[in-house]
Amino acid sequence: MKIIEGGVCAAKGFKAGSVRCGVKESRTNDDTAIIFSECECTAAATYTMNRVKAAPLYVTMEHLEDGVARAIVANAGNANACAPDGMENARRMAKAAAQLLGVAETDVAVASTGVIGQRLNIECIEEHLPELVLEDNASEKANRAIMTTDTKPKTAAVEFTIGGKTCRIGGICKGSGMIHPNMGTMLSFITTDCAITHEMLTDALQENVKKTYNRVTVDGDTSTNDMCIVLANGMAGNTLIEWQDEEYQAFCKALNEVNTRLARQIAADGEGATKLVTCTVKNSRSEEAAERLAKAVVGSNLVKAAMFGADANWGRVLCAMGYSKAPFRPEYVSVAFESAAGSVAVCDKGAALDFDEELAKKVLSESEVTIAVDVNEGEDSATAWGCDLTYDYVKINGDYRT
Amino acid sequence: MKIIEGGVCAAKGFKAGSVRCGVKESRTNDDTAIIFSECECTAAATYTMNRVKAAPLYVTMEHLEDGVARAIVANAGNANACAPDGMENARRMAKAAAQLLGVAETDVAVASTGVIGQRLNIECIEEHLPELVLEDNASEKANRAIMTTDTKPKTAAVEFTIGGKTCRIGGICKGSGMIHPNMGTMLSFITTDCAITHEMLTDALQENVKKTYNRVTVDGDTSTNDMCIVLANGMAGNTLIEWQDEEYQAFCKALNEVNTRLARQIAADGEGATKLVTCTVKNSRSEEAAERLAKAVVGSNLVKAAMFGADANWGRVLCAMGYSKAPFRPEYVSVAFESAAGSVAVCDKGAALDFDEELAKKVLSESEVTIAVDVNEGEDSATAWGCDLTYDYVKINGDYRT
C-alpha cells in the first residue's frame, strides 16, 4: 500500500468542484461542493446516532436505500437541522445537483454543516450551483468549501493492488467542533475505484468507522449532522469483491489507512486545538474496555486542559479511566507520556514515579503527544484521538453563531 | 422550614475548627479542618463511583461501618489518591484527630482534596493538628480550610420542627473542579441534631444525593475523592425517626433544602465560572429521562461555551438532548432562556422561533440563567445545575499542579 495525493479525486473516474452560493452572507469563500463519479457507484454510509438528525441525513438515507449513487452535494454555513422547511430544502438541494450533473435525483447524497435551527437559503444554492465546474484535481477545492471552523483541509489517499489491478481509495473530511462521532463523523466523503458489492462495502465501512472516526473526540458533543459516505465505482477493473476473502481484507486495510489518517486530522484540528493527543491503552482484558478507557482519557476536560498546559498531571488520566465504566485494576496501571521529544514514565503499577519534570514539559510541548497506558491484565488494545482544551476553544464557541 | 445561619455548626452540639498544617508549602491559609459532635452521632455517607478511589474513602468506609461517628477531619492540598503510603497516612490522620478530640479512631471520618499521585505530608498534620481549637461558630473557618480552587465558601442551614421539637440541619461543602459527582460529591459535610436511626439516615441521604449533588456537573470529570457525610447527634430531643413516616418526610425535605442549596453553590462556583446555568426539563415521560436530558444540556461543552458568550444558540441544547440517550421527540420540544432579566422563547415544538436577539443577550448575561425545556410528552420533570465554560477554566486547569 502506498500513500498518494489526490484525496477524493485520487480514484479513477471521480471529479469534484465547488462554488460560492452565499449560504451564509458573511462567508466570502466557496460554500458548496460536489463530488461526482463518471459511472454508477455502489454506495454505503453511516450516520450520527444523535436522536436529533438533520434533514439531509434522512434524504441521503432514502437516496442510498438502493445501494447506488453517483454524486454527493454538500454545503457549509447552515446545518439544515431543526430548521424550517428542512426536508423540502434538502430535497431541492439534491435536485439542483442532479439537474447540473444529468443524473437521477435519487442518485445524489446530500450533506450540510453549520448553524442549527436556521432555514437553509436553498434559493441561493439553486441559483449558483449551475456555475460549479467539475475538475479532475479539485479535491482540496471541494474540501475547503465544506470547512467551518476547520483551519485546514483534511485529506488522505492510498493505492493498493487487488488481483493484479491497481485500486485507489481517497477521501476528504471536515471536523473541528461538535466532534464526538457515534457511528459516523462530521462529513467524511470517501471515493474508490475498487469494484465491491454494496453488502461488502457496507460491512467494511460499518466495522471501520468504529475504530477510526468513532474513536475521535474534540468536545464530547455528538453532532446532528455526522455522516460518512463511501462511493465505489469499480473503474479499477478488479474482480468484484463479493465475500470476506483476502481481497476484502486488502480493501479493508486500505480503507482503514485512509479513515485513520482522516480521523487523526480531525482530532488535530479540533476547535482551538494546539496539539493532537493520542491515548493508547494496551494489555486490556478486551478491546471494548481498552476503547472505553482510551476515549475517557482523551475526552476528559481536565486531561485536555493539562495537555494544553504541558502539565504531566497523570492523576487526571487515572481519574478519567476510573469513571469510564470499563473494568481495570488501578493498582496494575502504568502510564507514560511520549512524543518526538522523548518518553517519560510517570506511574508504575498504580504508584507515582519520580520523574524529570523538565523533560516531561518538553515531551508534552510537542504538537503530537501520546498518553501510553498499560493496564497489565490482558492482551487487547485500542487507540483514541483527541486534542487539548484551549482558550481558543472557548473563544470560538462563546460566539460562533453571530 | 426556615433558612438560618451557622452552617455545619448550626445544629446543637456541633463545633468546628481549622489550622494550617502545611500540607502544601505554597498555601498560606488553613488547610485542615475538623467537625466535632459533643456526643455520639448516627452517621451515613456516600462515596464516588469512580473505580479509582482515594485512600481516605476506604478508611472512612471502615470507620462508618458501625453507623456511628463523632468527627470528620479533612485536608486540602493533597487528595491522597494513587499516593504512596495512602492507606497508612489516611489512618494516621484519623488517629491524630482522635487523639486531639479524645475519641476512638474508628469514630473519625477522613476526607482529602487536592492533587492526585503525591504522598500526603502526614507528618506536618500530626505536628500541627494539636494546635487546632474547636469553636461553636467556626463553620466558615472550617469551610475555607477545605477550599482548593473554590472562590467562596459554600454553606446552607435550615431549622424545622419535628413533633414540636426544633431541629436543624446544616452543611458546608467544596467543589470547583473535577465535578461531576456520582453518588456523592466533592466533600460535603452535613450535621443535624435530629434523632434518626442509621437506616433512615442512610436512606434519606442516598435518595437525596441523586437529586442534588448528582445533578451537578462542572466539567464531566467524576473525582476520585467525592464524599458526602451526614452526622446526626439527636440533641434536638425529637422522638427517634425509625420509619418512613411523616417525620421522616419532614427530615428529608429539610435535608433536600440544604443539599440543593449546596449543590447550586458548587455549580455556580465551578472552576472559572461566571454564571450558574440551570436546566429544567418538564413534561418528560419519566424522571430518569428528564434527568438525563437536563444533565446532558448543562454538561455540553458547546452549550457551556455559548452561555459564557451569552449566545442564545438553542441548536446546541437540542443537539445535547439528542445524544443524551434519553427518549424524547425532537419535534415536540420547546426551549426558552430565562433569568432575572426576562424570558425568551427560542424554539417551539422543534421549530425555530423568531426572537429578539438583544433581549436574549440581556437574559443570558445575568449571573443565574435557566434553560427551560418542555418535552411535551409526559408529566415528569428534573433539574440539573452547571456553569459556563470560560477562559479561566482552561487557565486554572492548564497548570493546576504547579
pLDDT in tens, B72-99: 999 999 989 888 899 999 999 999 999 9
Q: Domain check: are A203 and A219 in the same one?
A: yes
Q: Scanning every residue of chain A, which has its alpha carbon at the shortest distance from the alpha carbon of B328?
A: A51
Name the strands in the sheet holding B351-352, side by side, starting at the edge strand that comes first in the sequence.
Answer: B351-352, B342-348, B334-339, B368-374, B276-284, B380-387
Per DSSP (E only), the strands in A23-164 are: 32-47, 68-78, 108-115, 154-162
Of the partner residues A319, A357, A396, the one whose CB lies closest to the CB of residue B52:
A319
ipTM over 0.90: no
Half-sphere exposure at residue B114, Cβ-oriented, CA atoms within 13 angstroms: 27
> How far does the CA of residue B139 sit from the closest CA of chain A (Å)?
30
Q: Residue B316 pLDDT more than 60?
A: yes
How far apart CA A310 and CA A333 sit, in angstroms, is 22
Given this model, what pLDDT does residue A193 score? 92
The label of the residue with cell 482515594 reads: B54
Given this model, what pLDDT does residue B83 score? 87
CB contact under 8 A, A402 and B50: no
Q: Scanning every residue of chain A, which has its alpha carbon at the shortest distance from the alpha carbon of B323?
A: A50
Given this model, what pLDDT does residue A94 score? 97
CB contact under 8 A, A319 and B51: no
What single-letter DSSP state applies at residue A241? B
CB contact under 8 A, A397 and B306: yes
- Mean of the pLDDT values across residues A343-364? 93
User: Which of A50, A52, A271 to mutate to test binding with chain B, by most B CBs within 10 Å of its CB?
Assistant: A52
Q: Domain check: are A242 and A288 in the same one?
A: no
Specify the amino acid at residue B130.
P
Q: How confident is the model at residue B178 (pLDDT cuts 50, 70, 90)?
A: low
CB contact under 8 A, B322 and A219: no
CB contact under 8 A, B301 and A223: no
Q: Is B166 annotated for ligand binding? A: no
- A8-29 pLDDT, tens digit each: 999 999 999 999 999 998 889 9
| Length of chain B measured in residues | 402
pLDDT mean across residues, chain B: 90
Q: Scanning every residue of chain A, which has its alpha carbon at the shortest distance from the alpha carbon of B396?
A: A305
Q: Residue A328 pLDDT more than 50?
A: yes
A305 vs B contacts (CB less than 8 Å): 393-394, 396-398
Contact present, A189 and A172 (Cβ < 8 Å): yes
Retrieve residue A303's grid coordinates: 486531561
CB contact under 8 A, A322 and B224: yes
Q: Domain check: are B261 and B392 in the same one?
A: no
SS3 B242: coil
CB contact under 8 A, B400 and A311: yes
CB contact under 8 A, B300 and A221: yes
Specify the amino acid at residue B297.
V
B220 vs A contacts (CB less than 8 Å): 220, 299-301
CB contact under 8 A, B319 and A178: yes
Given this model, what pLDDT does residue B183 score? 42
Specify the amino acid at residue B356.
D
Q: Residue A40 pLDDT more than 80?
A: yes
Say how many CB pairs under 8 Å bridge A and B: 204
Q: Residue B19 pLDDT more than 60?
A: yes
Given this model, what pLDDT does residue A184 score? 43
Catalytic residue (one of B185, B202, B222, B280): B185
Given this model, what pLDDT does residue A400 score? 52
Of the partner residues A119, A300, A318, the one whose CB lies closest to the CB of residue B52:
A318
CB contact under 8 A, A302 and B221: yes
CB contact under 8 A, A323 and B394: no
- Mean of the pLDDT values across residues A154-161? 92
Give every CB contact of residue B74 below 8 A, 6+ residues apart in sequence: B32, B33, B34, B110, B111, B112, B113, B145, B146, B187, B189
Catalytic residue (one of A185, A192, A212, A278): A185
> How far does the CA of residue B285 sit from the closest CA of chain A (Å)?
16
Given this model, what pLDDT does residue B342 score? 95
Using the Cα atoms of residue A251, residue A257, residue A263 and residue A269 in order, give the sign of their dihedral.
negative
Given this model, what pLDDT does residue B184 score? 43
> How far does the CA of residue B277 sit from the closest CA of chain A (Å)?
15
A302 vs B contacts (CB less than 8 Å): 177-178, 219, 221, 397
Q: Domain check: are B163 and B193 in the same one?
A: yes
Given this model, what pLDDT does residue A178 score? 64
Retrieve residue A237's grid coordinates: 477493473
Q: Domain check: are A111 and A143 in the same one?
A: yes
CB atoms within 10 A of CB B347: 23
How far apart CA A312 and CA B115 sit, in angstroms, is 12
- Mean of the pLDDT values across residues B292-316? 91
> What range defines the domain where residue A7 resides?
2-268
How far is Cα of residue B11 from the mean position of the Cα atoms in its chain? 19
Of the partner residues B177, B222, B350, the one whose CB lies closest to the CB of residue A82:
B350
Consecutive H or E run containing A116: none
Contact present, B33 and B18 (Cβ < 8 Å): yes
Q: Domain check: are B238 and B322 in the same one?
A: no
Given this model, what pLDDT does residue B307 score? 94
The total number of structural domains that make up chain B:
2
CB contact under 8 A, B308 and A118: no
Contact present, B176 and B149 (Cβ < 8 Å): yes
How far apart CA B304 and CA B389 sit, in angstroms, is 5
How far apart CA A396 and CA A218 sit, in angstroms, is 13
Q: Domain check: are B286 and B239 in the same one?
A: no
Among residues A140, A271, A291, which one has the least CA distance to residue A218? Answer: A271
Query: Which of A147-161, A184-198, A382-396, B115-129 is modeled with the greatest confidence?
Result: B115-129
> How far does the CA of residue B151 sit from the closest CA of chain A (Å)?
19
> How far does the CA of residue A184 sit from the closest CA of chain B (Å)?
13
- A178-233 pLDDT, tens digit each: 666 554 447 888 899 999 999 999 999 989 888 888 888 777 677 777 888 889 99
User: Which of A51, A308, A329 to mutate to test binding with chain B, by most B CBs within 10 Å of its CB?
Assistant: A51
Give every CB contact of residue B88 below 8 A, 6+ residues apart in sequence: none
Is A60 considered catalytic here?
A: no
The CATH number linked to B143 is 3.60.70.12
The label of the residue with cell 439531509 reads: A56
Percent of residues, chain B, with pLDDT higher than 70: 96
Per DSSP (E only), the strands in B263-401 are: 276-284, 334-339, 342-348, 351-352, 368-374, 380-387
> How far does the CA of residue A112 sit from the closest CA of chain B (Å)?
15
Percent of residues, chain A, with pLDDT higher than 90: 67
Of the partner residues A119, A309, A401, the one whose CB lies closest to the CB of residue B399:
A309
Final residue before a domain boundary, out of B245, B268, B291: B268
Of the partner residues A52, A118, A318, the one whose CB lies closest to the CB of residue B82:
A318
Of the partner residues A84, A116, A313, the one whose CB lies closest to the CB of residue B401:
A313
CB contact under 8 A, B319 and A399: no
Retrieve residue B336's grid coordinates: 426558552
- A334-348 burial by CB neighbour count: b if 16+ within 10 A, else e? bbbbbbebeebebbe
The CATH number linked to B311 is 3.10.20.340
- Annotated binding-site positions of A for substrate: 148, 174, 185, 271, 397, 402
A271 vs B contacts (CB less than 8 Å): none
Q: Domain check: are A60 and A199 in the same one?
A: yes
- Mean of the pLDDT values across residues B265-290? 91
Q: Which range among A64-73, A364-373, B223-232 shows the weakest confidence by mean pLDDT?
A: B223-232
B391 vs A contacts (CB less than 8 Å): 391, 394-395
User: Which of B226, B319, B389 to mutate to test binding with chain A, by most A CBs within 10 Å of its CB?
Assistant: B319
> How far does the CA of residue A401 sit from the closest CA of chain B (Å)?
7
What single-letter DSSP state applies at residue A72? E
- B180-191 pLDDT, tens digit each: 655 444 688 889
Final residue before a domain boundary, out of A203, A238, A268: A268
Of the partner residues B82, B118, B219, the one whose CB lies closest to the CB of residue A350:
B82
Retrieve residue A8's grid coordinates: 477524493
Helices marked H in B161-275 = 198-211, 246-268
- A273-327 pLDDT, tens digit each: 899 999 999 999 999 999 999 999 999 988 999 999 999 989 889 989 988 889 9
Given this model, what pLDDT does residue A228 score? 85
Q: Domain check: are A225 and A357 in the same one?
A: no
Q: Scanning every residue of chain B, which has its alpha carbon at the shortest distance from the alpha carbon of A393?
A: B305
- B324-372 pLDDT, tens digit each: 889 999 889 999 999 999 999 999 998 889 999 999 999 999 999 999 9
Whole-Å CA distances, B345 to B124, B257, B299, B312, B316: 56, 29, 21, 10, 15
- Mean of the pLDDT values across residues B149-155? 85
Q: Domain check: are B257 and B331 in the same one?
A: no
Give every CB contact of residue A147 below 8 A, 6+ residues apart in sequence: A76, A153, A174, A176
Q: Residue B20 pLDDT more than 80?
A: yes
Cα-Cα-Cα-Cα torsion A203, A206, A211, A214, nearest 10 degrees, comes to 180
Q: How confident is the model at residue B51 (pLDDT cuts 50, 70, 90)?
A: confident
Final residue before a domain boundary, out of A268, A300, A322: A268
Q: Is B234 left (phi over 0), alpha (psi -120 to 50) or beta?
A: left
How far apart CA A336 and CA B252 sit, in angstroms, is 47
A317 vs B contacts (CB less than 8 Å): none
Q: Domain check: are A27 and A56 in the same one?
A: yes
The label of the residue with cell 421522616 reads: B248
Q: Residue A402 pLDDT more than 60?
A: no
> How far does the CA of residue A271 sit from the closest CA of chain B (Å)?
11
Q: Domain check: are B127 and B240 in the same one?
A: yes
How far apart CA A185 and CA A189 sit, in angstroms, is 10
CB atoms within 10 A of CB B33: 28
Q: How confident is the model at residue B177 (pLDDT cuts 50, 70, 90)?
A: low
CB atoms within 10 A of CB A148: 23
Among residues B332, B288, B371, which one has the least CA distance to residue A52? Answer: B332
CB contact under 8 A, A301 and B393: yes
Q: Is B126 annotated for ligand binding? A: no
Given this model, what pLDDT does residue A185 score? 47
B351 vs A contacts (CB less than 8 Å): 82, 84
Given this model, what pLDDT does residue A145 score? 94
What DSSP line would sit under A250-314, residue for residue?
HHHHHHHHHHHHHHHHHHHT-TT-SSEEEEEEEEES-HHHHHHHHHHHHH-HHHHHHHHTT---H
How far apart CA B171 and CA B139 sit, in angstroms, is 8
Given this model, what pLDDT does residue B334 score? 96
